[in-house]
Structure 1
Amino acid sequence: MKIGIIGGGLTGLVAAHALAGEHEIDLFEKMPHLGGCLSSYNMKDYWIERYYHHCFSGNSALFSLLEKIGLSDKLEWWTGTTGYFAQSRIFPLNTPLEILKYPELTIIDKAKLAWLTIRAKKRDLRTLDDIPADQYIIENLGTNIYSSFFEPLLKSKFGEQRKEVSAAWLFSRIAIRSNRSVSGERLGYLKGGFHQVIGALESAISDKGGRIHKQEPVSNLTHTGNSWQMNGTRYDAAVSTIPPQELERLGGPATSHIPYQGAACMTLAMDREVTDGIYWLNMKDPAPYGAVVTHTNFIPRERYGEHLIYLASYFSGLVPPQLDERMLMDFCRRFSVAGHEIHWHRIAVDPWAGPVYTTGYRSLIRGYENAGMYSAGMFSATNYPERSMEGSVRAGLEVAETIRQRSVHDRN
């Protein structure tokens, strides 16, 4: 079969890798680089992801992929520490003593949080899909726990849409991040950076005869009989990894519109560390970013020669005006950083960064095939109710297997 794939993010590359060699593959990516949200900056002496990334101990499909492309020996495990910026101060929240000292929560509040964490892994998420996360927390744990602990987390991930997010996402988030010790959370990272995954997939696809077209967006899509035309070329099958509403705009089949949000992630470098050794610092105090993620409080600074920090912000619709300037100015003021201390800074903006897991989201999920078009990505069932590299890899593999089964059926 001749197969056209729209989108060179992780799901598109995994699908192309699974199908290349057996089928004729064309992959189209509108950007000059591959990887989507897993793409990286190539600095003088190192690579660093445009958006912060790590993996979890249960990511079996990702680990299998790393084995296939020869990168499993580079997977390392480090401790990711967390904290909150509240009352103009940094509060680490890792050890039992640190949690007990956190002034925003009472002893009873902290006991309730411990109870929730224990329950999270056993809860049937399907029963939580229609319940707003804020409503669940307020009704079951109280207003203070919501405003002092969960609202900053929801704000850092979903911005102004946080009140629409379902409790299913929240419980999934708690469960996936429960691999903790008294010093922090056990998280995985690829030594040298995740750009190696993208590069290895690109090379493997090309070696198997697949063609990758960078800076070549699909601008024309037509369905004729059992085939699709992309930019005037006929394909026996088409795979889309872009948001369903964007696919529909190009001429793809009508389907449920998945609620999406945009992300603006600023990366900056400086000589000193300003978050007290904390990797992931949620902002409880109002700021133009929801979290400060200090990459070099997770991965050793020596690998980069400077400290690397992400400022993470999410938005709906258009990018807020002058967001990059406001983020940088606020960071410098809040953490007492002089402008000359910052070696460089860059901002990555993606208006379709990922779905927002609103109440009722589960009913919007569709299968991989719709009116002759195959679709997979962050909107697939494998990424519900928490998007991840694992979910994107599984979506790519599953949509490839769906196409493979169709090919076998057609031949028989």
Structure 2
Amino acid sequence: MKIGILGGGLSGLVAGNILARDHEVILFEKMPFLGGCLSSYHIDTYWIERFYHHCFSGDEQLFSLLRELGLWDRLEWQKGSTGYYSGNTLYSLTTPMEILRWPELSIPEKARLALLTLKSRKTDLAALDDISAETYIIEHLGPRIYSAFFEPLLKSKFGKNRSQVSAAWLISRIAIRSDRGVAGEHLGYLNGGFHQIVDALETSILKKGGTVHLQAPVTSLMKKEGGWTINDEPVDRVISTVSLPELGRLTGLPFPEIPYQGAACMTLGIERDVTKGIYWTNMKDESPYGAVISHTNFIPKERYGEHLVYLASYFSGTVPARLDQRMLDDFCSRFGLAPSEIHWSRMAVDPWAGPVYVTGYRSLIPAYEKHGIYLAGMFSEENYPERSMEGSVRAGNHVAEYILKQEQDHP
């Protein structure tokens, strides 16, 4: 059987690697590189992801993949410290004492917030699908905690869509980040970079006889008797990992109206640390980015020879004008960094970075097969209510298993 895969992100690569064992796989990727949001830059002697990444202690299928690819021994665990930038002040909120000293919430409010975090892992997320995060937090913790703590985070992540975001997404995000001790979150990283997963999957697919087409956007997907054609290439089955709006425009077929947002992520190589040793800083003050992720406050700077920082921004529709320059100017001014201290900067933009998890999102999730096309990606059930590498691996695994089971049931 000949299987065409649209998109060379993690889900497409995982599915292709499984199916290439016994089938002919052809993968189409519009960019000149594989990996999607997991792709990386090669800077001098090292690799660094285009979009910040880490994994979590419960990512079991990702860990199985690492073992299969011979990368398990490169997985390491580090502590991720957190901060909050508010009122032109950078507050570290990593240790219990730092949280207690934070002036923007009272002690009782902080206690209610801590209790929510403790309960998050046992919360029935399905029951929260139709409730907005705003409504849930105000009802359970009060309007002040929402306006002082959660609303700025939701605004930086979802902008004008923040009031529509499901409580299931928010509580899931709190739960996944509740694996922490007094020194910070317990987070995983692959020594040498996550590009090793992408490279190993590509190598495995090619060794099994598969084909990978780079810089090959799919411009034509046509249903033919007994199969499909992708850019005039005949195939028996099609797996699509691209966004559902893109797939709908390509095929003219109706797919669920899942809202998406884009991500713009600037990566900087700089002379010195400007975030006081903090890995992840959320921005409450108005700025052209919602978070500052200081990668070398998570992974040792010595591996890179310079400090690495991400400036993360999300948008709906088109990228805001001059966003890259506005990010640079704001960052230098706000954190006291001279332009001469910036070694290099690169901007990565993905207009389909992920769905907006609005209320009622669960009802929009498509089945594995729709209109004869097999589906896996950011929109899949495995990436709800929070997208992750684990979710993408699961989505790739499951769509491949679904196809194989169909073949077994109907040889």
TM-score (norm 1): 0.98
**What does residue 180 of structure 1 align with?**
180
Label 1:405 to 1:252 Cα distance change in 2 as closer, same or farther (>3 A).
farther
**What does residue 198 of structure 1 align with?**
198
Partners of 2:190 and 2:375 in 1: how far apart? 28
Cα deviation code 1:373-412 (max 9, x no counterpart) = 001001000000000000000000000011111222232x
Partners of 1:85 and 1:36 in 2: how far apart? 30
**What does residue 157 of structure 2 align with?**
157
CA contact (8 A) 1:267 1:309 kept: yes
Label 1:377 to 1:252 Cα distance change in 2 as closer, same or farther (>3 A).
farther
Does 1:128 pair with 2:133?
no
1:185-334 aligned at under 5 Å gives the runs 185-251=185-251, 253-334=253-334
What is the CA-CA distance between 1:224 and the residue it aligns to? 2.2
What is the CA-CA distance between 1:371 and the residue it aligns to? 1.7
Partners of 1:305 and 1:156 in 2: how far apart? 31
CA contact (8 A) 1:218 1:231 kept: yes
1:8-407 aligned at under 5 Å gives the runs 8-251=8-251, 253-407=253-407
What is the CA-CA distance between 1:33 and the residue it aligns to? 0.2
What is the CA-CA distance between 1:55 and the residue it aligns to? 0.1
What is the CA-CA distance between 1:95 and the residue it aligns to? 1.1
The letter of the residue matching 2:107 is I
Partners of 2:152 and 2:389 in 1: how far apart? 23
Partners of 1:186 and 1:4 in 2: how far apart? 38
TM-score (norm 2): 0.99
Cα deviation code 1:186-222 (max 9, x no counterpart) = 0000000000000000000000000000001110011
For the residue of structure 2 that corresponds to 1:218, the secondary structure is coil
Partners of 1:344 and 1:148 in 2: how far apart? 35
**Number of residue pairs aligned between Structure 1 and Structure 2:** 411
Cα deviation code 1:170-200 (max 9, x no counterpart) = 1101111111001100000000000000000
The letter of the residue matching 2:134 is D
What is the CA-CA distance between 1:340 and the residue it aligns to? 0.7
Partners of 1:257 and 1:225 in 2: how far apart? 28
What is the CA-CA distance between 1:226 and the residue it aligns to? 3.5
Structure 1 window deviating more from structure 2 (104-113 vs 225-234): it is: 225-234
Partners of 1:408 and 1:135 in 2: how far apart? 47
For the residue of structure 2 that corresponds to 1:281, the secondary structure is strand
Partners of 1:215 and 1:177 in 2: how far apart? 36
For the residue of structure 2 that corresponds to 1:265, the secondary structure is strand
Partners of 2:110 and 2:174 in 1: how far apart? 15
Cα deviation code 1:354-375 (max 9, x no counterpart) = 1110111010011110121001
For the residue of structure 2 that corresponds to 1:278, the secondary structure is coil
What is the CA-CA distance between 1:155 and the residue it aligns to? 2.6
CA contact (8 A) 1:34 1:198 kept: yes
For the residue of structure 2 that corresponds to 1:314, the secondary structure is strand
Partners of 1:74 and 1:241 in 2: how far apart? 28
What is the CA-CA distance between 1:303 and the residue it aligns to? 0.2
Structure 1 window deviating more from structure 2 (157-166 vs 13-22): it is: 157-166
For the residue of structure 1 that corresponds to 2:158, the secondary structure is helix
Partners of 2:388 and 2:166 in 1: how far apart? 17
Cα RMSD (Å): 0.9
For the residue of structure 2 that corresponds to 1:302, the secondary structure is helix
CA contact (8 A) 1:160 1:315 kept: no
Partners of 2:299 and 2:109 in 1: how far apart? 32
Structure 1 window deviating more from structure 2 (25-34 vs 112-121): it is: 112-121
Partners of 1:253 and 1:391 in 2: how far apart? 26
What is the CA-CA distance between 1:252 and the residue it aligns to? 5.8
CA contact (8 A) 1:159 1:313 kept: no
CA contact (8 A) 1:12 1:396 kept: yes
Q: Structure 2: 5+ residue runs without aligned partners? A: none
For the residue of structure 2 that corresponds to 1:216, the secondary structure is coil
What is the CA-CA distance between 1:254 and the residue it aligns to? 1.5
Partners of 1:169 and 1:388 in 2: how far apart? 12
Partners of 2:406 and 2:252 in 1: how far apart? 20
CA contact (8 A) 1:279 1:298 kept: yes
- Structure 1 stretches of 4+ with a deviation exceeding 4 A read none
What is the CA-CA distance between 1:156 and the residue it aligns to? 3.2
